[in-house]
Amino acid sequence: MTFARDGSLSPVTAVQALVGAVGHFTPNLDVYAYAGLERDNANFSSAGGTPFGLGNPAYLDGAYFAVNSLAVPSETSSPAGNPITSSLSNTTCSVNVKQLEEITVGFWQNLYKGDMGRIAGGAQFEYIHRTTFPGALFTDGPLVSPAVDQATVLASLRYYFP
Over the stretch 67-102, which tens digit does the pLDDT of each residue have?
444 444 444 444 555 444 434 444 456 668 899 999
What pLDDT score does 117 carry?
95
* Chain centre to alpha carbon of residue 152: 13
Average pLDDT, the chain: 81
* 144-159 tens-digit pLDDT: 777 889 999 999 999 9
72 vs 7, more confident: 7
What pLDDT score does 82 carry?
47
3, 9, 15, 19: CA torsion to nearest 10: 110
